[in-house]
Amino acid sequence: MNLVVGASGLVGSAVCARVAAQGKPVRTLVRPSTDAAKQAKLKSLGGHLAFGDLKDASSLSTACRGVATVISTASSTLSRQAGDSIETVDMQGQPNLVRAAKAAGVHHFIFISFPPVPEDFALQRAKRAVERELVASDLAYTILQPTFFTEVWLSPAVGFDAPNASAQIYGSGENKISWISYVDVARFAAACVGNLAVRNCVIKLGGPDALSPLEVVEIFEQASGRKFTVTHVPEQALRAQRAAATDSLQEGFASLMLYYARGEVIDMKPALKLFPIPASELNSVQNYATRLFHASS
């Protein structure tokens, strides 16, 4: 049995579909308060529901019973659930899950994290703490560290409003980023199941090409046939935003925006040697822009 934690989220639901498509059994951790439509979707993907919460250690023990592999995609960053925060979910809940997995005799723990970032902030401290706990445990582990999700960071939620031909750029926009689709993150996570080559590995993940945000704007302009209005948020303003943050979530987003401004290029050759995934099948920014405007036309 394979347990997916964070199954109702963007990456988690895609992981469920991938693992089930491989003919492997899937158990999904969902809260009793999870929307009925999301529960029905997970069932349709082949998931067997286990009710629990990262904040409830006893429920994790039950969910991990009889499980060979845990895949955790959960994070508080996009959650709208009452009581969820970086402190309760990422700092406390994830270590609870690691301990429950160890106690239940789980063989392999796959954790979705992100690459180390120069800034010190609560979300990064939480991710690094879980990584250290996994490495120190007796569990076989795989830590996946994807960069910026294309569908999140090139969306109106963070100021990249493609439908209205408007883009907010953090920093100069000249530093390259290895944008990665959440679909590919899910594919890599699912491909870890039963893959001995990735055990006890920390693997950075990026997309098929590294592009600066300004190059991304050009791709979207070509795909849409429209000129974009571009505004820049200087790094100095991002540092001020980070300093003025009133909670760890605001601090985290400002820190990640600074990370975006500095860029991150991932050499995918080491990762692709470990997975049966051709580089040509990874989703590019060009593909995403084309699909986005084709769907709206």
Mean pLDDT, residues 219-237: 97
* Selection from 73, 229, 252 nearest residue 161 by Cα: 229
Handedness of CA 37, 38, 43, 46 (dihedral sign): positive
| 226 has a pLDDT exceeding 90 | yes
What is the reported pLDDT for 297?
53
163-200 tens-digit pLDDT: 999 999 999 999 999 999 999 999 999 999 999 999 99
Predicted local distance difference test score (pLDDT) of residue 39: 85
The percent of residues above 70 in pLDDT, for the chain, comes to: 97
pTM of the predicted structure, to 2 decimals = 0.94
Q: Which pLDDT score is estimated for 80?
A: 59
> Between residues 77 and 134, which one has the greater pLDDT?
134
- At position 67, the amino acid (one-letter code) is V
The HSE-up count of residue 8 (CA atoms within 13 Å, CB side) is 22
Q: What is the pLDDT of residue 44?
A: 84
8 pLDDT band (50/70/90 cuts)? confident
| Distance from chain centroid for Cα 218 | 26
Separation between Cα atoms, residue 134 and residue 146, nearest integer Å: 18
Check whether 289 has a pLDDT greater than 60: yes
- Helix, strand, or coil (residue 257): helix
H helices, E strands: number in the chain: 12, 10
pLDDT, the chain, mean: 93
Q: How far apart are CA 188 and CA 45, in angstroms?
A: 18
State percent of the chain over pLDDT 90: 82
d(CA 52, CA 60): 6
pLDDT band per the 50, 70, 90 thresholds, residue 236? very high
pLDDT of residue 187: 97
Query: What pLDDT shows up at residue 178?
Result: 98
Nearest CA among 51, 43, 57 for reference residue 95: 57
The 10s digit of each residue's pLDDT in 42-71 is 888 777 899 999 989 999 999 999 999 999
pLDDT-derived band at 37 (thresholds 50, 70, 90) equals confident
What pLDDT, in 10s, does the model give residues 58-113? 999 999 999 999 999 998 876 556 677 889 889 999 999 999 999 999 999 999 99
pLDDT at 295 > cutoff 70: no
Contacts of 111 (CB under 8 A, 6+ apart): 72, 94, 130, 131, 134, 141, 142, 143, 144
pLDDT in tens, 142-168: 999 999 999 999 999 999 999 999 999
